[in-house]
Amino acid sequence: MSVFALSPRECGNRLLSLLPDDDLAALSAHLEMVDLDLKQVLGEREHAISHVYFPCSAVLSVLAQMLEGQAVEVGTIGNEGFYGIDVLLGGAQANATETTLCQVSGKALRLPTAAFVRVLDGSMSLRDVTQRYMLAYMSLLSQSVACNRLHTTEARFARWLLMTHDRVTEDTFHITQEFLANMLGVQRPSVSLVAGAFQQAGMIRYNRGQMTILNRQALEESSCECYGIVQQQFERRIGPFRKGCGDRR
C-alpha cells in the first residue's frame, strides 16, 4: 500500500496524517484496508489482540461489561485514534472488563499486532502520536464514567450524537435504537422518547435506523459539559476535528 493511499484525503485517520512520510511508509507495508460491519467485534475482554485498527470512516464502541452480560459504553474510537492501546502499554490481551465493537460501519486500516509493535519500537514519531492520543482517550474514559452516573439521558444522548458526528464522514449514519440503548445503558423505550423529542425540536431526523444531524448547534446546547471537556483534550493533543458538514460551527 502506497503512502499516497494513506494520505488524510484518502484515509481520513488523523493519527496517520500526523506521521512523517518515512514512518508512514514503514507502517504502510503492513496495513490493509478492511470494511467493518455494524456490531462486528474487534476485541473481547481478556482475549489476545490480533490486530491494531486505525478507523477511517468506521466508528468503534468500547463497552464495559458486567459478568451477567449488561454493558454500557465508556469509550468511542473513530478517525481521531486507533484500537490497540493495550498493546501500546505492553499488553497482549484486551482489558479484562472491555469489549470493542463497530458501532458505525465503515472502513479501517489494520495491521497485525506484532507488526505494529515492531514499527513502534523503531519510530519515535509513531510512539509520540499514539501516546498523545492515549492521554486524550484516558480523559474520555474518565469523563464517560462521571457522565453515565451524573447526567440525564437527554444530555448523554446529545453528547453521544456529537461525538459520533465528529468521527463520521457524513451528516447521516446508520444506528438502531437497540444499539443506542446499549450505548447509553438505558431501556429502548427511553431512547424512543428522547429521539422523538429531539426530532420534534428539529435537531435530528431519525427513520428506520438512519440518523441525520440537522442542527448541531442545538445538540451542543442540549449536551452536558462532558462533550466540550473531552473535545478540548483531543484538540489540544492531536488537533481539531474536521469541520464543514451540515451546520457545524
Same domain, 35 and 141: yes
The C-alpha cell at 153 is: 439521558
Same domain, 26 and 104: yes
Same domain, 120 and 166: no
Same domain, 42 and 113: yes
Same domain, 20 and 79: yes
Residue 249 located in a structural domain: no
The C-alpha cell at 3 is: 503512502
Residue 84: per-residue pLDDT: 93
Same domain, 165 and 201: yes
Q: Which of 40, 65, 17 lies closest to 241, judged by CA? A: 17
Residues of the chain with pLDDT under 50: 1-6, 8, 244-246, 248-249
Residue 7: per-residue pLDDT: 54
The C-alpha cell at 215 is: 442542527
DSSP run (H or E) holding 88: helix 85-88
Residue 247 located in a structural domain: no
Residue 206 located in a structural domain: yes
Same domain, 64 and 115: yes
Residue 97: per-residue pLDDT: 62
The C-alpha cell at 69 is: 452480560
CATH number reported for the structural domain that contains residue 85 in this entry: 2.60.120.10
β-strand 98-104 against 59-65: which pairing, if any? antiparallel
Residue 73: per-residue pLDDT: 81
Residue 32 located in a structural domain: yes
Same domain, 194 and 229: yes
The C-alpha cell at 121 is: 519500537
Same domain, 118 and 86: yes
Same domain, 124 and 79: yes
Same domain, 143 and 157: no
Domain that holds residue 199: 150-238
Residue 65 located in a structural domain: yes
CA distance 104 to 213: 15
Helices (H), 113-209: 113-122, 124-150, 153-167, 177-184, 188-200
Residue 92: per-residue pLDDT: 67
CATH number reported for the structural domain that contains residue 220 in this entry: 1.10.10.10
